[in-house]
Chain A
Amino acid sequence: MTSPASPSVTRNVPDRLQSSFTRGVRSWEMLLLVVLVLVFSANSFASPYFLNVWNLSDATFNFTEKAMIAFAMAMLIIAGEIDLSVASIIALASTAMGLAMTAGADTPMIVAAGIATGVACGAVNGVFVAGFGLPSIVVTIGTMSLFRGISFIILGDQAYTNYPKSLAFFGQGYVYWVFSFELLLFVLAAIAFYILLHRTSFGRSVYAIGNNATAAQFAGLRVVRIRFILFLLTGLMSGIAAVCLTSRLGSTRPSIATGMELEIVTMVVLGGVNILGGSGRILGVVLAALIMGCVTFGFGLLNVPGIVMSIFLGLLLISVIAIPRLLAHKFKRA
C-alpha cells in the first residue's frame, strides 16, 4: 500500500475499551438488582411473615412457571418476534393432559401429552410466521383465540380434576428441604437459556436477526429456520409450564392461565429486552422474575388487592424503562 490515504502503519484497534467489571456496573442488570434489593428490604420491614424460608419458598411459585416461558419469549423478542399465544398454549396443553388422563394414560404419558401439545402449538405459530412470513403479532393473537377456543370446545364448563397423585410432584414436590421441583426447573431453564443465548452461535444469530434480519440473511444465516426453532422453543417451554401449573392446581379448566401472556411480556421487557428486538440478556429476565415475585408476594402478605398490585407493576415497568431514557435525554441536551 503506497497511497497517502492508507498508511502502511498498522493501526491498533483495541478489542475492548471497558473492562467487563465497568460494563457490569453500568448495566441494566445492576439497576434491576438495586430495585430487587429495595423491594426485598421494603417487604421485610413491612411484614414480619416475609422473611420466613417456607413463605419465601411458597412465593417462588408466583413466578417460576411464567419465568420459564419468559426465557424463551426473551429470545423470541430479541429476534424481533413475539408470541402472545403462550397462555392459550398452556390451556390447550393442559386440556390435552386431561384428555390423556381420561383415556387412561399414566403420569409419564400425561406429561408427554402436555409437552408435545406445547411443541405442536409452537410449530403452528412457527409455520405461519417463519414459513409464510406473516407478522408474528397478528398470527399469535389469532392462535391465542384459536388454542384456547379448542380448549373451550373440548371442556365447555367442565373441568378435569382426577389427576393421578404422582403428577402432583411436578407442581407441588420438593427436591430438597425448601427447594421445590419448580424452582429447580426455573434455575435449570435459566442456565440453559443463558448458555443458548449468550454462549452459542445460535444465540448470536438471534441477536443478528433482531438487529437486521435482511443483513443476517445476506450474511448467510438461515433466518427462517432460526425463527421457526424459536417458536418451537417457546411452545416447548409453554408445554412444560402447563405440566407444572396443571400439577400444582390439580385441575384443568379452559380459563387456566388467562392473561399470563401479558405478565410474561412485562417480565421480559422489565428484564431489559428491547421490545423492538436486538438486545437484552437472560440475567435481566431472571432479576425481573424475582422482582415481580417479591412484589406479588409482599403485597399478598399485606392484603393488598390484586388490582393495586397490577397498578404497582405497571408503574414499576414504566418508570424503570422511562427514567433512564429521560435522564439520558436530559444529559444529552445539557
Chain B
Amino acid sequence: MTPVLSLRGISKSFPGVMALSGVQLDLYPGQVTALVGENGAGKSTIVKVLTGIYQPEEGTISVDGTAMRFATPGDAAKAGVTAIHQETVLFDELTVAENIWLGHAPRGAFGLIDRRAMRSKAVELMRSIGADLDPDEVLKDLGIASKHLVAIARALSIDARVVIMDEPTAALSHKEINELYELVETLKAQGKAILFISHKFDEIFRIADRYTVFRDGQFVGEGKIVEVSETALVQMMVGRSVDQIFPKRTHNVGAEVLRVAGYNHPTEFADIAFTLRRGEILGFYGLVGAGRSEVMQALFGITKPSRGACMIDGKAAIIRTTTEAIAQGIVYVPEDRGRQGAVKGMPIFQNVSLPSLAQTSRGGFLRLAEEFKLARDYTSRLDLRAASLDQDVGLLSGGNQQKVVIAKWLATKPRVIILDEPTKGIDIGSKAAVHEFMAELAAQGLAVIMVSSEIPEVLGMSDRVIVMREGRIVAEVSGEQMTPETLVRAAAGIQEAA
C-alpha cells in the first residue's frame, strides 16, 4: 500500500532548539497512525509543518508521491490535509454553519455567500459524522462536546484526505470518547488517512493501526500496532538516557520544611499530600495538564484550594496571596516566564529588587545603591549575561531572563523554591547553569520543588519524584525505582505489566 502523505528528512529549528531533525512520517489511506512521544518530542511541531503553519528548513513532503510545499495553511488545505487541534479554534458568536464554512463558504451570485447552500451542506457534513445539530444555532449556546463536533465538521469541510487529531479526547467525557472512536471508524471507512496524537496508551491500542515514535525531535521507529507491546513502545519513547550531564549532588537531606495535606480544588486537583525536606530536590513529573502547575500556584497563593492544609516547619501556614506566600518563604519561578515571571519593559535591577523593596528601601523611599547591590550580588551568582543591570529584561535571551527571575527570588532568602519547567525553551548553556545552580541551592539547605516534563531532567536532578495524572498524585518514587519506565507508565496510566 502506498502512503497518501509522506514526510522525509524534515528538520525544523528554533533559536537554541532543534525541534525536529530529519524525521519521517507516512500516513496510509483508511488507516489510523498513532504518533507517540514524550512532551517536547516534536509532535506539535510536525502538526504545524503538516498544516502549513511552519515551514521546515529541510526535507520533503509528498502527497501521492508528488513533492509539494505547504507555504501557507491554505496550501495544506488544498492538498487535503486538515487538523482538529488540541484547543479548538472556533467563534462563539457565529452560528454552527458559519463556523464550519468560515473562510471557504459556498458562493452564489455576485460572489456573495450562499447561505442556503452553506446550511444544507453543513447539515450534510454533520450527518456524515453522526452529529445532529441545528446549523443556525449560535456556538456559545452549545456544550463542549457539540463544539468539538463542529470543529470536526469544519475540519472535514475542506474535503480532507488526511485528518490530524491532536489529543482529541483531552476534553471529552467517557461517552463522548466512545462516540469519537465511532467517528474515527467512519472516517477510516471513507478511506481517509488519520494521524492520531495521544498520550493515552489504551486509546492508541484501541483505535490505531500503525504507530510512529518521536523522541527529542528525532524519528525513533514505526510499525504496526499489532506487532508491538506497551512496554516496547514505552522503551522507544524514553530511549536510553539522553547524553546530558547533570551536576553531581551531595545528598544532604535535612529536616522537614513543608507538609501539604489534603489539597483539593474543584476542578484542577484532588487529594494532594506530600512533604518536602531541607536540601531536597523534589521532582514533579506528569503530562501537560496533569495539574502540577495548579498545585504549585495554590501553594504560592495564586489559585485558592477549596480544602487542604499546608504546614511550614510544623506550623500551620495560611497562604491566601502571593504576598503571604513570600512572607512564609515560599517562592515560585513560573513556567510562563514572559507573562508571569519577568516584568519586561523594566530594567534588570528593578526586576530583581521587586519582591525585596521592603528590604532595599527605607521608610518607603527607594535606595538605588542598595537595589544595585542586591541585583549585582544575585545575578553574578547566576552568571547573568547582560550589557548592564539597567538593561530592559525584555531584551535578554530566554535563559538570561530566567536567571533574572531566579535571582529575584533568591534575593528574598526563601525556604522553599518552586521551579516550574525551569529550563523550558532555554538554550543548552543556560540550562546547565540553571541545573548547577539548583544543585547548589539544595546543597545550601534550600528545599527545592522542580516541576518538569523532561524525563532526563527529572531523573537527573531529583532526590524523589512525584508523578501526577489528571489532578492526582499517582506515584511517588525514589532511589532505584526512579526509572524512565516507571514515570512514563504512571503518568500515562498504564497498569503494571503482568
**B173 touches A (CB below 8 Å):** no
Contact across chains for B385 and A11 when beta carbons are under 8 A apart: yes
Contact across chains for A219 and B355 when beta carbons are under 8 A apart: yes
A88 to chain B, nearest CB (A): 32
24 contacts between A and B (CB under 8 A): A1-B436, A3-B432, A5-B431, A6-B383, A6-B433, A7-B383, A11-B384, A11-B385, A12-B380, A13-B380, A13-B384, A17-B388, A17-B391, A199-B366, A200-B364, A201-B357, A201-B364, A202-B364, A204-B354, A208-B354, A216-B354, A220-B323, A220-B326, A220-B355
Contact across chains for B346 and A211 when beta carbons are under 8 A apart: yes
Interface residues of B in 406-449 (CB under 8 A from A): 408, 428-433, 436, 440
**A252 touches B (CB below 8 Å):** no
Secondary structure dominating the interface of A? loop
Contact across chains for B388 and A15 when beta carbons are under 8 A apart: yes
Contact across chains for A13 and B376 when beta carbons are under 8 A apart: yes
Interface residues of B in 351-405 (CB under 8 A from A): 354-355, 357-358, 361, 364-366, 372, 376, 379-380, 383-391
Over the window 271-285 of chain A, the binary record of Cβ atoms lying under 8 Å from chain B Cβ atoms (1 yes, 0 no) is 000000011000000
Contact across chains for A17 and B340 when beta carbons are under 8 A apart: no
Interface residues of B in 98-117 (CB under 8 A from A): none
Known pairs A3-B432, A10-B380 / 13 extra A-B pairs, C-beta < 8 Å: A3-B433, A6-B432, A6-B436, A13-B385, A14-B388, A14-B389, A15-B372, A15-B390, A208-B343, A211-B343, A212-B343, A216-B354, A220-B325
Contact across chains for B361 and A200 when beta carbons are under 8 A apart: yes
Contact across chains for A279 and B388 when beta carbons are under 8 A apart: no
Contact across chains for A13 and B388 when beta carbons are under 8 A apart: yes
Which one of A16, A203, A219, A279 lies within 8 Å of B322 (CB-CB)?
A219
**A207 touches B (CB below 8 Å):** yes
List of B residues within 8 angstroms of A212 by Cβ: 339, 342-345
Q: How many A-B contacts are there with CB distance less than 8 Å?
A: 126
Q: How far is the CA of A140 from the CA of B383 in the complex (A)?
A: 47
Interface residues of A (CB under 8 A from B): 1, 3, 5-7, 10-18, 199-205, 207-208, 211-212, 214-222, 278-279
List of B residues within 8 angstroms of A201 by Cβ: 357-358, 361, 364-366
Interface residues of B (CB under 8 A from A): 245, 247, 300, 302, 321-323, 325-326, 332, 334, 339-346, 349-350, 354-355, 357-358, 361, 364-366, 372, 376, 379-380, 383-391, 408, 428-433, 436, 440
List of B residues within 8 angstroms of A218 by Cβ: 300, 302, 322, 332, 334, 340-341
B427 to chain A, nearest CB (A): 9
List of A residues within 8 angstroms of B429 by Cβ: 5-6
Q: How far is the CA of A13 from the CA of B396 in the complex (A)?
A: 13
List of B residues within 8 angstroms of A207 by Cβ: 346, 350
List of A residues within 8 angstroms of B346 by Cβ: 207-208, 211, 278
Contact across chains for A215 and B339 when beta carbons are under 8 A apart: yes
Q: Which of A14, A205, A220 has the most CB of B within 10 A?
A: A220
List of B residues within 8 angstroms of A18 by Cβ: 390
B269 to chain A, nearest CB (A): 19
A221 to chain B, nearest CB (A): 7
List of A residues within 8 angstroms of B430 by Cβ: 5
B456 to chain A, nearest CB (A): 15
List of B residues within 8 angstroms of A279 by Cβ: 345
List of B residues within 8 angstroms of A200 by Cβ: 361, 364-366
By beta carbon, the residue of chain B nearest A201 is B357
Contact across chains for B366 and A215 when beta carbons are under 8 A apart: no
A128 to chain B, nearest CB (A): 21
Contact across chains for B345 and A214 when beta carbons are under 8 A apart: no
List of A residues within 8 angstroms of B340 by Cβ: 214-215, 218
Which one of A6, A16, A219 lies within 8 Å of B354 (CB-CB)?
A219
B274 to chain A, nearest CB (A): 22
Which one of B342, B386, B433 lies within 8 Å of A13 (CB-CB)?
B386
By beta carbon, the residue of chain B nearest A200 is B364
Sorted nearest first, the 9 A-B pairs with minimum C-beta distance are: A5-B432, A201-B357, A211-B345, A220-B326, A6-B433, A16-B390, A5-B429, A212-B343, A219-B354
Q: How far is the CA of A1 from the CA of B432 in the complex (A)?
A: 10
List of A residues within 8 angstroms of B436 by Cβ: 1, 3, 5-6
Q: How far is the CA of A221 from the CA of B327 in the complex (A)?
A: 12
Contact across chains for B376 and A215 when beta carbons are under 8 A apart: no
